[in-house]
Amino acid sequence: MNEQRARKLVAEERARIESALAGLSGEIRDDGSLQRQQTGEAEDAGSALESESISVALEADLREHLAAVERAEERIARGMFGRSVEIGQPIPDERLEAEPLAERTIEEQRRYEGRVHG
């Protein structure tokens, strides 16, 4: 994949993630679940706390994706975008089009996930 296309795909991912983070951060601030708990609206407090927990988990996931964007930008700058972070093997363009932040080939990713989640 050429550098211009790589930069475009990674920039689009950054914009999407930053937009989602901004919206989610606003939701967390506006939720006010702790205030509802303190004012005695216990019926809504449980669902509000659950909603806030989900929002916090989503925010953490988005921050992890933003870190992946930063790693992809570093690989572009070093001329290593499109190469596996494990052994430097080329990552097929089709995979990068579908997953611009991919750091490994599909086979490597499966092995990696097996080690991490296994």
pTM of the model: 0.76
Contacts within 8 Å (CB) and 24+ apart, 29-37: 31/55
Q: Which residue has the higher pLDDT, 90 or 53?
A: 90
Amino acid 116: pLDDT? 78
Residue with the larger pLDDT of the pair 9 and 34: 9
Would you tell me the crossing angle of helices 42-78 and 3-31 to the nearest 10 degrees? 160
CATH architecture of 3-117: Up-down Bundle (1.20)
Q: Give me the pLDDT at residue 16, please.
A: 97
pLDDT, residue 25, reads 74
Confidence check: pLDDT of 34 > 80 = no
pLDDT at residue 114 is higher than 80: yes
pLDDT digits (tens, 9 = 90+) for 49-83: 676 788 889 999 999 999 999 999 999 999 999 99
Beta bridge partners of 90: 83
**Range 82-90 contact pairs with CB under 8 angstroms and sequence separation of 24 or more:** 82/1, 82/6, 84/108, 86/112
Q: Is the pLDDT at 22 greater than 60, yes or no?
A: yes
Tokens of 106: 């599909």
47 pLDDT higher than 70: no
